[in-house]
């Protein structure tokens, strides 16, 4: 065990601010960014820059969305070890998962903006996604109301204005889980881990994202069986193509009472008007 304390997710940092025509002493809550190193059965796998909060969820969720494990029980042991330079997440796996980890080992550090760094081939970057077959249906009002509820449940962002969130909303319980991180894909991995550890399935709900929808976000959503993605910002063109292939309903630019629907509109029960010319 390490005697090193866990790093803080938020730090109060002194500085100066130009206010009312003069420079004034100022303090700001800043989101921390920490190297988090994953190892499986003693072998280094990846280093991700992440917010040092909910790291057990991160360990489980990253392992799930990377296809290393198919359920949390494939992890025999999980150890979180703070060190002076960051945090080590040490996982010991059941034999089948250990073999997958060996095949998918990454060799490069991943910055917060990159969810595909260090993979070894173009084919791996464009790996086939599982088809999401769950067919829940939601009204446009449910979707926009779900997104509107999210801001109040983001304590790190309320302090720092600098982190992303991923959340799951269900018709029966509202928002059941939220995770935050400086990296959008880390936030989704943390959510995936929290859901898996809590025995919760995204199959009947809406996956809420406060970021743009890039390719790795669709890949991770498909890997956990999320049928609907709703995001504040726009998707990339490749993300739309992948969502179409994976059977995922992709709604984006969710602002106020409006949004744009890009793929599989059958899950959103709205009455369509004539096409825009």
In this predicted structure, what is the pLDDT of residue 10? 98
Q: Is the pTM of this model over 0.85?
A: yes
> Higher pLDDT residue, 219 or 102?
219
Beta strands at 86-93 and 75-83: parallel, antiparallel or unpaired: antiparallel
Mean pLDDT of the 142-169 span = 98
Q: Where do you find CATH 3.10.20.10 in the chain? A: 34-125
In this predicted structure, what is the pLDDT of residue 107? 42
Residue 158's H or E segment, with its range, is helix 155-160
- How far is residue 92 CA from its own chain's centroid? 23
* Alpha-carbon gap, residue 203 to 154, rounded angstroms: 23
Measured between its terminal Cα atoms, the distance across the chain in Å is 64
Q: Where do you find CATH 3.40.140.10 in the chain? A: 140-267
Average pLDDT value over all residues in the chain? 92
Token duo for residue 123:
């084919």
In this predicted structure, what is the pLDDT of residue 122? 55
Residue with tokens 């980890």: 101
Give the percent of the chain with pLDDT over 70.
Answer: 89
Q: pLDDT by residue (tens digit) across 203-225?
A: 999 999 999 999 999 999 999 99
The yes-or-no answer on residue 114 being catalytic is: yes
Give the percent of the chain with pLDDT over 90.
Answer: 86
What does CATH list as the number for 140-267?
Answer: 3.40.140.10
What does CATH list as the number for 34-125?
Answer: 3.10.20.10
Residue 114: pLDDT over 60: no
Per-residue pLDDT band at 276 (split at 50, 70, 90): very low
Of 114, 119, 153, 176, catalytic? 114
Residues 6+ positions from 38 with CB-CB distance below 8 Å: 44, 45, 46, 47, 48, 59, 62, 89, 91
* Alpha-carbon gap, residue 232 to 147, rounded angstroms: 8
């Amino acid at each position: 065990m390490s005697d090193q304390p866990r790093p803080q997710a938020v730090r109060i940092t002194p500085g100066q601010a130009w206010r009312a025509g003069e420079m004034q002493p100022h303090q700001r809550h800043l989101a921390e960014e920490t190297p988090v190193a994953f190892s499986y059965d003693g072998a280094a796998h990846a280093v991700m820059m992440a917010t040092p909060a909910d790291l057990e969820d991160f360990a489980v969720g990253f392992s799930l969305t990377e296809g290393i494990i198919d359920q949390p029980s494939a992890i025999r042991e999980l150890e979180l070890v703070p060190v002076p330079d960051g945090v080590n997440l040490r996982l010991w796996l059941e034999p089948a998962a250990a073999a997958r980890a060996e095949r998918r080992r990454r060799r490069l550090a991943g910055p917060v903006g990159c969810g595909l760094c260090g993979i070894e081939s173009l084919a791996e970057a464009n790996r086939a996604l599982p088809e999401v077959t769950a067919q829940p249906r939601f009204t446009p009002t449910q979707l926009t109301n779900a997104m509107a509820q999210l801001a109040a449940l983001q304590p790190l962002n309320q302090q720092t204005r600098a982190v992303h969130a991923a959340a799951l909303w269900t018709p029966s319980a509202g928002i059941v889980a939220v995770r935050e991180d400086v990296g959008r894909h880390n936030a989704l991995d943390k959510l995936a881990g929290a859901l898996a550890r809590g025995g919760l399935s995204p199959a009947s709900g809406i996956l809420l994202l406060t970021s743009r929808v890039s390719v790795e976000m669709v890949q991770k959503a498909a890997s956990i069986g999320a049928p609907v993605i709703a995001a504040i910002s726009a998707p990339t063109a490749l993300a739309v193509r992948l969502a179409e292939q994976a059977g995922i309903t992709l709604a984006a630019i969710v602002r106020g009472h409006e949004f744009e629907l890009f793929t599989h509109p059958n899950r959103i029960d709205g009455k369509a008007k004539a096409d825009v010319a």
